[in-house]
Structure 1
Amino acid sequence: MMMVRSAYDKKKDDIHFEYWQRCRYLPEDKLIALLDHDNFKLSLEAAASLQLRGGSKIIRLAQMDSFSNRYKRRALAAFILGQIKLNTKEEKISLKILYDLALNDQSAIVRSYAVSSFGHRCFGHRCEKAKKKYADTLLSLAQSTVLDKSVMVRVSTAFALSVFKNRASIPLLIKLLKDTHSEVKNWAAFSVNVNNYDTPEIRNCFVLLLDEKNFEARFEAIIGLAKRQDKRVTQILIHELSQERIYDEMVEVTAYLGDVSLLPTLYQVKDKFGTFKELNTSIKVLEHLKSKL
């Protein structure tokens, strides 16, 4: 079953589409003017359009704006530098700018965008040697930003650690999994799952996340534990799959978990919703395992 969007999420999407429509055909000078608009979300959409168009003028503008006395312009500059196309010299300068903003800017929103953008630059680099170098630098940066007092910066740090696989990042992600804020834990769990990290402490952190009120964090923990064949998630999966609304991913991971006690629940899902690919596969796998007992 597909996840149902809330009215709030739909409204956000509608506003985003409205701003995108407003910006998509504007000339460059009009987009630059919007960077100073009172509505930051509109300014961000203008920045996204400028980022997509690229060019040396926009790159120089973003690099100069990173030293602006207006924090919104510094934040937008950090955003633009995250994914705009750069040559080698421009990238070297931009990475230094982002690193400095992430560590030293007084504004949390600027630090947050700088960390995310640094992660994007690591992920988007085609040269594997350079990607490793930047990933090592990002790991060094994260040693500080994982302790940032701002939730936004810690969320960005958790996201940034998802863009490359390096087991040296596991201790940092464990710190983030134990964060006081649910959104930080959600992104930390996502980073752990996307890179398939697995340690006893990670599993124990995931077990604690099963009690999170934040659904996304709880969802990541359920999926993560099931894929790691940790049977402590079995009863939670049975509960989730007995609801009126279920999620394909939760059905799918029952095959990874390999607990045949889930079969009756899967049969109930079949009776209620009919057959679909993930359900058929999981039933087949668990029935095969049961036949071997």
Structure 2
Amino acid sequence: MMMVRSAYDKKKDDIHFEYWQRCRYLPEDKLIALLDHDNFKLSLEAAASLQLRGGSKIIRLAQMDSFSNRYKRRALAAFILGQIKLNTKEEKISLKILYDLALNDQSAIVRSYAVSSFGHRCEKAKKKYADTLLSLAQSTVLDKSVMVRVSTAFALSVFKNRASIPLLIKLLKDTHSEVKNWAAFAVNVNNYDTPEIRNCFVLLLDEKNFEARFEAIIGLAKRQDKRVTQILIHELSQERIYDEMVEVTAYLGDVSLLPTLYQVKDKFGTFKELNTSIKVLEHLKSKL
């Protein structure tokens, strides 16, 4: 059972939809004009529309804007270059621009968008630029800005390469919970597993940030690390529970979770993930 969205999250979604509606049918020149709007979120939605429409004019504009003396235009330029369709020559130029912005721009928001966009380009190129991204991440993993370190964790999530593990471990030990959250996500999505990763996840079990704690719980359960058993029992005893936490009890394979799963069944009724986990653990118990 997924937790109900907060009123804050719903309001954010409503605002995003409002901006999307406002931009979706605007002509190109009107969208370009919105890039200078005082409301950055509206400008970002205009940039997203331009990115989706693509074309050489927008590509050239973004490449030129990357040298603007206005940091917001540089940030929007980096955003556009991340996922717009590019030919080989345009991509080569754009990657150099993004790399330079990520390392050298004075604005943290520009560096952050540049790192994320470099990750998107790496993903689109099917790992072609993975080594270059790893080289970039060696520096950005130490950036003073939380936003840049979050973007670095995201960028390292888009492809699987065990050379990323030392960088992600640094991010798992970061002082900021959102960085640790994205680093844990990158580890989980790529199924990395080392003793140090597991130990980092155990430390994340005490995080106040639920998303980071959630990633750690899921990660430890899938790696069959029984240090997470008592935490799972606690989480599954709450009034609102996540389907994923029910599902990973089967991966963990700890039959001591069965009484808790029976309680979940009594409280919420049956559902696919619960039925599967109970069946798996009952089978394991029968072999003891």
SS in 2 for 1:165: coil
Looking at structure 2, the residues matched to 149 and 89 of structure 1 have their Cα atoms a distance apart, in angstroms, of 33
Cα gap change, 1:176/1:129 in structure 2, threshold over 3 Å: closer, same or farther? closer
Asked whether the 8 Å contact 1:3–1:247 carries over to 2, the reply is yes
- Post-superposition CA distance 1:49-107 (Å, at most 9, x none): 00000000000000000000000000000000000000010000000000000000000
Cα gap change, 1:62/1:5 in structure 2, threshold over 3 Å: closer, same or farther? same
- Post-superposition CA distance 1:22-73 (Å, at most 9, x none): 0000000000000000000000000000000000000000000000000000
Looking at structure 1, the residues matched to 222 and 54 of structure 2 have their Cα atoms a distance apart, in angstroms, of 41
Displacement of 1:158: 0.3
Asked whether the 8 Å contact 1:79–1:113 carries over to 2, the reply is yes
Looking at structure 1, the residues matched to 148 and 123 of structure 2 have their Cα atoms a distance apart, in angstroms, of 27
Residue ranges of structure 2 left out of the alignment (5+ in a row): none
Cα gap change, 1:232/1:124 in structure 2, threshold over 3 Å: closer, same or farther? closer
- Post-superposition CA distance 1:166-223 (Å, at most 9, x none): 0000000000000000000000000000000000000000000000000000000000
- Post-superposition CA distance 1:90-125 (Å, at most 9, x none): 0000000000000000000000000000xxxxx998
Cα gap change, 1:196/1:68 in structure 2, threshold over 3 Å: closer, same or farther? same
SS in 2 for 1:131: coil
Cα gap change, 1:264/1:128 in structure 2, threshold over 3 Å: closer, same or farther? closer
Cα gap change, 1:159/1:125 in structure 2, threshold over 3 Å: closer, same or farther? closer
Structure 1 vs Structure 2 CA RMSD: 1.6
Looking at structure 2, the residues matched to 54 and 129 of structure 1 have their Cα atoms a distance apart, in angstroms, of 15
TM-score, with length taken from structure 1: 0.96
Asked whether the 8 Å contact 1:125–1:131 carries over to 2, the reply is no
TM-score, with length taken from structure 2: 0.98
Displacement of 1:131: 3.6
1:225 aligns with 2:220: yes
Moved segments of 4+, more than 2 Å:
123-133
Provide the aligned length of Structure 1 versus Structure 2: 288
Asked whether the 8 Å contact 2:34–2:46 carries over to 1, the reply is yes
Looking at structure 2, the residues matched to 77 and 128 of structure 1 have their Cα atoms a distance apart, in angstroms, of 19
Displacement of 1:127: 10
Cα gap change, 1:111/1:128 in structure 2, threshold over 3 Å: closer, same or farther? closer
Looking at structure 2, the residues matched to 124 and 171 of structure 1 have their Cα atoms a distance apart, in angstroms, of 18
Asked whether the 8 Å contact 2:122–2:133 carries over to 1, the reply is no
Looking at structure 2, the residues matched to 126 and 79 of structure 1 have their Cα atoms a distance apart, in angstroms, of 11
Looking at structure 2, the residues matched to 126 and 15 of structure 1 have their Cα atoms a distance apart, in angstroms, of 28
- Post-superposition CA distance 1:120-170 (Å, at most 9, x none): xxx998999964440110000000000000000000000000000000000
Displacement of 1:12: 0.4
Asked whether the 8 Å contact 2:119–2:133 carries over to 1, the reply is no
- Residue 120 of structure 1 is matched in structure 2 by none
Displacement of 1:2: 1.8
Asked whether the 8 Å contact 1:102–1:145 carries over to 2, the reply is yes
Asked whether the 8 Å contact 2:101–2:110 carries over to 1, the reply is yes
